[in-house]
Structure 1
């Protein structure tokens, strides 16, 4: 019986974590009230509190004793730091897995890009970001280094929060450009042109940074 309760508790905590992280990404509110979130998601305080603590540890929430949790202000310094990590880590992982990419992986990358297009046509920015993340995470999942995988998940979460909080989150041209950059990366993977594929990946990350900075507001 205790084991069943433990599993139920873990399930609720994980569910709360996903729901709150999604809220953090897209909410315009700064303060997160555990009481309000508990009511909104129809959950007890315990899983909500655990989820907020986890997000606080990951740097996605700020905590203030006696007050609660806050969604951090987006600072230009944060944007620069996120992309500094992406430029170093993504390049390394992409280089390492390039020769292991198969037709199956290419099909998955193309599918993610198609779904990005569909999401954009439906003005579904969350869907667009979902498949953008899947595109980049595929290389980390193939690399199979749990430390780098978790690092990249955290970095991408912070990146998408920055993206939601900038004026360019609904910039159609910027998102179309990002899709075209993904397609260019796929093209050179198909051609087995490693050097050019790496160049296109780095250009894509650089352009993503510029798009975020261009839409930055504080």
Structure 2
């Protein structure tokens, strides 16, 4: 069954880059799932290209940690172990706390206005259950805080985690009730930043990421239980 759309040529980008971006997006959005084998011929047919740009894209995705190449077995979408998740969230919590603390000291009035506006927009979108829009607004909220930190190195380090973070956002924000919780957590962070309370902003940002991690693990556990039911049949009552 076809899941990937044929690529659209971009006059400004080499074909291998267009294919790379298509596969990267499919992995991040969960269309291509963790642990799934990536067959060059099948992907090439779905994308409407030859195997060469697909092969090049897979190598680049391997460098980004989204694909794993196994000798004599081929390419697979990289999975995430509990240790991987813990490591990434440990780093992210520290970086988000630092960013929020610095933002409380350095943010401009225009950026504060943008944060407030993002709260309103997220509340509006929440009612539509448009997951992509919710994820986009959540991403924008955090990016405003990163910029407001006025620390280019910090922004660069966080950007290196963005692919993994985006995968997590799709899972956590799809969990019932999590978007509403996220809005409330965002409000508290904005209040602390607007009041220039750096320590409080950092603490709230860290707690926000820890809550996201808890929701992600709960979602993955539920998915695992559902998969067990599917493979074993209906559980006895």
Aligned partners of 1:79 and 1:159 also within 8 Å: no
Q: Which has the higher helix share?
A: 1
Query: More displaced, 122-131 or 140-149?
Result: 140-149
State the distance in 2 between where 1:106 and 1:10 align: 36
SS of the residue corresponding to residue 220 of structure 2 reads coil
Moved more, 83-92 or 39-48: 39-48
In structure 2, relative to structure 1, the CA distance for the partners of 1:101 and 1:58 (3 Å cut) is same
3-state SS in 1 of match to 2:161: helix
Moved more, 194-203 or 34-43: 34-43
How has the CA–CA distance of structure 1 residues 84 and 23 changed in structure 2, closer, same or farther, with 3 Å as cutoff? same
**Residues 1:135 and 2:138 aligned together:** no
Q: Does 1:181 align with 2:185?
A: yes
Tell me the CA shift for residue 216 of structure 1: 2.3
Cα deviation 1:30-87 (Å, max 9, x = unaligned) = 1222333333333444443333222211212111245432112231111111111012
Alpha-carbon distance in structure 2 between the residues aligned to 1:43 and 1:150: 33
Q: SS where residue 123 of structure 1 aligns?
A: coil
Aligned partners of 1:198 and 1:112: how far apart in 2?
19
Secondary structure at the residue paired with 1:170?
A: coil
Where structure 1 has 5 or more consecutive residues not aligned to the other structure, the ranges are 1-6
Spell out the pairing of 1:48-87 with structure 2 (5 A cutoff). 48-87=54-93
Task: State the alpha-carbon separation in 1 of the partners of residues 102 and 135 from structure 2.
Answer: 25
Q: CA deviation at 1:194?
A: 2.2
Q: Deviations over 1:85-134 (max 9, x none)?
A: 01222222333343221122123223333443344333222322222222
TM-score scaled by structure 1? 0.80
CA 1:105–1:207 in structure 2 vs 1: closer, same or farther (change >3 Å)?
Answer: same
Give the number of the structure whose alpha-carbon radius of gyration is greater.
2
- Taking structure 1 as reference, are residues 38 and 178 closer, same or farther at Cα in structure 2, changes over 3 Å only? same
Residues 36 and 209 of structure 1: is their aligned pair in 2 closer, same or farther, counting only changes over 3 Å? same
- Runs (5+) with no aligned partner, structure 2: 1-9, 225-237
Map 1:7-26; keep pairs closer than 5 Å.
8=11, 10-25=13-28, 26=30
> Does the CA contact (< 8 Å) of 2:104 and 2:192 recur in 1?
no
Q: Which residue of 2 aligns with 1:3?
A: none
